[in-house]
Amino acid sequence: MSSPHTPDSSSPPPGYGPSRPPSVGRAPILAGLAGLLVGVFVVGIVWLGTALIGGGDDHEGAAADAAASCRILERIDATNSDSLDLPYAYRIGAAAQLAAAAAEDDRRYQVLSRDTHAASQAIQYADAATARNEIAQALATCEGL
């Protein structure tokens, strides 16, 4: 016989039942908004600083990159090395990268970029004669800039 006061085994005892999920207060939302505003402020300050300090004209940067590429080519030509050692290859690669950057900003440097890239490719294939020819073409282009 069951007594009327015997708890049912299928229901949890009082205080152990499903509880209401904790409420999300306004603090996390306000903290997120504050973080967002601080981030926007910092990005704005950095952008303003670069715009005021360093932002030069793309054509000025392209001219500087092309000039640096030509100086590297002049150093390579001055050594007139028949060896295809790593420093030689790195210098040609650097000249090619600078010329490519210049050509991206200013189309006038596309020929220089093409010539230095061809020289770099020739070095990768250990073709010193082609590399020297391409460097000579690139130097001729440098003289015309």
pTM, rounded to two decimals: 0.59
Phi/psi at 53 (5° precision):
-90, -60
Q: Which of 88, 94, 106, 103 is nearest to 69 (CA)?
A: 94
Q: Determine the Cα–Cα distance for residues 83 and 93; give it in Å rounded to an integer.
A: 15
Q: Tens of pLDDT along 1-31?
A: 555 555 555 666 666 656 666 666 777 787 8
